[in-house]
Amino acid sequence: MPEIVMQVSGLTKSFAARGSRSGSIKAVSEVGFSLGRGETLGLVGESGCGKSTLSRLMLALLDADAGVVEIGGVDFTHAPAQHKRNLRRRIQIVFQDALSSLNPRRTVGVNITEPMRLQGIGTAVQRRIEARRLLELVGLRAEDEDRYPHEFSGGQCQRIAIARALVLKPEIIVFDEAVSALDVSIRAQVLKLILDLQQQLGLSYIFISHDLGVVKRICDRIAVMYLGRIVEIGPASVVCSAPVHPYTQALLRAIPIADPRRMRIENLGLIEGDVVGVPTENACAFAPRCPMRFDRCLQSRPELASAFAGQQVACFLLNSDT
C-alpha cells in the first residue's frame, strides 16, 4: 500500500436553494476517499453531481460544512489562514477552460510564475528562469514566456495552465475536466503530457471528468458520483469491466464505442428519467431512475460497503444477491 498523500473524510457542502427561504441543496454529501502517492483517482459523474464543488472543497477554495481534507496527515480544512497558504503549495488545480483561467493582460511567463510571486518565492530573475524551464517541461519553447495567452491554441493554453500548476512543486494536482474541451488528437497529446509528468515527478492526481473513456485510460481507481455522493469506488479496471452499482452500469452502457461492429444506436443504453432535484435523505438518490429498484431503496439510503476486489458500492443489491 503506497503512502497516503491525501485523505478526504465526511466532506459535505450545502448551498442555499434559489427561490426558497428554508431549503438548501446538498451539493456534496459525506464524501470520503484516500489518494496514494503516485496514484490517479478519477471522479466521474454527470453535470450537477457535485464533482466541481468537491474539487473546490479539496483545494479549500470553498469552506466545507462538515468533513476534513488532510494533506500529508495535516488538517487542511481547519488550518489557520497562514498555514493554509503553505499547505496550498502542495495541491494545485487545472481547469477546463485554460484560456479563461489565464490572465490575458500578462505574459505567459508572468502567468506561470504568479503563484510564486503570491507565495513570496524567489526573485524576479529566478521566477523567469523557472518559467522558461517549465515551458520546456510541458512541451513549449522557453521563448514563449514573452507571448500572451491569446496567441496560443487551446491545447497549448492547457500546457501553460499545467506549467502554472507545477510551479509551486505540488504533490497533488486536481484536473477538473482539463481535456474535455480539446479535440481528440490534441486531447491525446495533453493526456500523454499529464502521464509523462506523473512518471517524472511522482505526482498524485485527482482527475475529474464526465468522460468515462478518458478516466478509464489514465486512472488507477475510479469514484462514480451521483447527486453529491460516491455510489461506487474501486480499481479502474474493475469498475469499468464489472460495475456493481446500477448507475455505473447505466453510465457505461450510454457511452458510444468507436466501433460500429460493437455498438450501434439500437444497443446504446437508455436510463429512465433525468437527474432530478434534491435527493431525499432516506432513500437511494438513484432509485427513481433505477431499473432494479425495490421497496427498500425508497425507504432507506444504502451506505458505501465493500464489494469484491477492492470495490465499494452504495447499493442494497450488493447484500441481497449474495
Partner 1 sequence: MSPSPCLVVKNLTTRFGSDRAGATVVDGVSFDLTPGRTMALVGESGSGKSATALSLMRLIEAPGRIIAGKILLDGRDLLSLSEREMEDVRGGQIGMVFQDPLTSLNPALTIGRQIAETILAHNNISYAEAEKQAIDLLLRVGVTDAVERVHDYPHHFSGGMRQRVLIASAISCAPAIIIADEPTTALDVTVQAKILRLLHDLQLEMHASMLLITHDLGVVAAMADTVMVMYAGQIVERADVDTIFHNPRHPYTKALLACVAGIEDDRSVPLEPITGTAPDLTDPPKGCRFGPRCPMVQDSCLRTDPKLRALSNDHAVACILVAEEKVDA
Q: Please report how close the Cβ of residue 197 comes to partner 1 at its closest, in angstroms.
A: 13
> 11 or 238, CB closer to partner 1?
238
Q: Please report how close the Cβ of residue 74 comes to partner 1 at its closest, in angstroms.
A: 32
Q: Please report how close the Cβ of residue 186 comes to partner 1 at its closest, in angstroms.
A: 7
User: How far is Cα 89 from Cα 67, in angstroms, rounded to an integer?
Assistant: 21
- What is the DSSP code string of 223-247? EEEETTEEEEEEEHHHHHHS--SHH
User: How far is Cα 173 from Cα 171, in angstroms, rounded to an integer?
Assistant: 7
> 81 or 184, CB closer to partner 1?
184
Q: Are 58 and 206 in contact (CB under 8 A)?
A: yes
> 137 or 193, CB closer to partner 1?
193
Q: Please report how close the Cβ of residue 239 comes to partner 1 at its closest, in angstroms.
A: 12
Q: Please report how close the Cβ of residue 167 comes to partner 1 at its closest, in angstroms.
A: 25
User: How far is Cα 77 from Cα 136, in angstroms, rounded to an integer?
Assistant: 34
**Which backbone phi and psi does 312 adopt, to 5 degrees?**
-125, 135
- C-alpha to C-alpha distances, 20 to 23, 28, 44, 106, 278, nearest whole angstrom: 6, 19, 29, 42, 13
Beta bridge partners of 71: 6, 74
**Residue ranges binding partner 1 (CB under 8 A):** 46-47, 153-155, 183-189, 191-192, 195, 210-214, 216-218, 237, 250-251, 254-265, 268-271, 274-275
> 167 or 214, CB closer to partner 1?
214
Q: Please report how close the Cβ of residue 237 comes to partner 1 at its closest, in angstroms.
A: 7
Single-letter code of the amino acid located at 34? S
Q: Are 160 and 101 in contact (CB under 8 A)?
A: no
> 268 or 278, CB closer to partner 1?
268
> 103 or 241, CB closer to partner 1?
241
Q: Please report how close the Cβ of residue 76 comes to partner 1 at its closest, in angstroms.
A: 30
> 111 or 189, CB closer to partner 1?
189
Q: Please report how close the Cβ of residue 262 comes to partner 1 at its closest, in angstroms.
A: 8
> 76 or 286, CB closer to partner 1?
286
Single-letter code of the amino acid located at 170? P
Instruction: With H, G, I as helix, E, B as strand and everything else as coil, classify residue 248.
Output: helix
Q: Are 41 and 205 in contact (CB under 8 A)?
A: yes
What's the helix, strand, coil split of the chain in %, to 5?
A: 35, 20, 40
User: How far is Cα 75 from Cα 10, in angstroms, rounded to an integer?
Assistant: 13
> 166 or 236, CB closer to partner 1?
236
Cα torsion 37, 77, 161, 140: sign: negative
